[in-house]
Amino acid sequence: MISEKTVELNLTTELVNYFYVVTGVRPYILAPSQPQEATYGFDTSIGFPGASKPFLIQYKRAEYRKRKKEYLYHLNRTATQDQHLRLYILELLGWDVFYALPLFHLPSEIITHRQHLLPKTLYVKPSSMIPVGGVSAMTGHHEVRHNAVTGVTTIYSEEGKRIRSKFNLFDYIRSFNNIQQSSDITLLSFLKDFNRVFSNTEQVKIKGITLSPTSKDDNQMFKGQSIIVK
């Protein structure tokens, strides 16, 4: 089975190349600082070049259950078990956020399908992955299961709920041709909102949802996250 970092590196490489082919612009990638670094999240005191609206991808690796012919993805494997809720809140604040769930899990598949891994991936917004019980049930451990035969994707805690809305990555990237270049205020606004949601040192309430303080000992909170910036 491949690591989450392998998924992230290979899909991001293909995404940057596809973005360039479609828009003529090669985007750059930002990743939040880890807990052991001086700044947790993003240092918004520094400047960034002018950029269009950024978007965040949360990569997950797949486990494959051969008998059931299904891919399995784990959510909220963090100290506070609320990464999924935080991604949902960031989406509620008006930013583009989505999961990348690969339909591959072996090194041999990376080799065989390299340069064609983007179409072998599911893209789903957090708002399309609300489990039974609603938003208040988004904390705690969850699984997403994708049946390779039926194509049905389901989010499970104790009970399953079908995910009916998938995100079209390719249409989304093509839409960047219609976005005008903006100032760095757009990117800085995103990074400040990211820090509010993911780097809060005290309990906060955002969009009516209460978030516990982020644990600075949590090495999993930012795992698999990339911010793509045109």
pLDDT tens for residues 90-131? 999 999 999 999 999 999 999 999 999 999 999 999 999 999
H or E stretch covering 184: helix 184-198
Asked whether the beta carbons of 11 and 17 are under 8 A apart, the reply is no
| CA angle (153, 158, 164) in 5-degree steps | 25
Per-residue pLDDT band for 82 (boundaries 50, 70, 90) equals very high
Residue 194 one-letter amino acid: F
pLDDT digits (tens, 9 = 90+) for 9-44: 999 999 999 999 998 888 888 888 765 444 556 655
Q: What is the dihedral of CA 211, 215, 220, 225, to 10 degrees?
A: 50
Average pLDDT over residues 67-74: 96
Number of structural domains the chain divides into: 1
Residue 176's domain comprises 4-229
Statement: residue 215 has pLDDT above 60: yes
Distances in whole angstroms, Cα of residue 97 to Cα of each of 113, 143, 228? 25, 19, 10
Q: Report the pLDDT value the prediction gives residue 48, as an integer from 0 to 100.
A: 52
3-state secondary structure of 124: strand
Better-predicted residue by pLDDT, 89 or 199:
89
* pLDDT tens digits for range 130-184: 999 999 999 999 999 999 999 999 999 877 899 988 889 999 999 888 876 655 6
Q: Which of 23, 15, 229, 227 is nearest to 121 (CA)?
A: 15
Q: Residue 80, Cβ neighbours under 10 Å: how many?
A: 17
Query: Is 86's pLDDT higher than 90?
Result: yes
How many angstroms separate the CA atoms of 198 and 101, rounded? 21
Helix or strand (DSSP H, E) at 64: strand 63-65
Q: Determine the Cα–Cα distance for residues 114 and 128; give it in Å rounded to an integer.
A: 28
- The 10 Å Cβ neighbour count of residue 164 is 8
87 falls in which pLDDT band (50, 70, 90)? Answer: very high
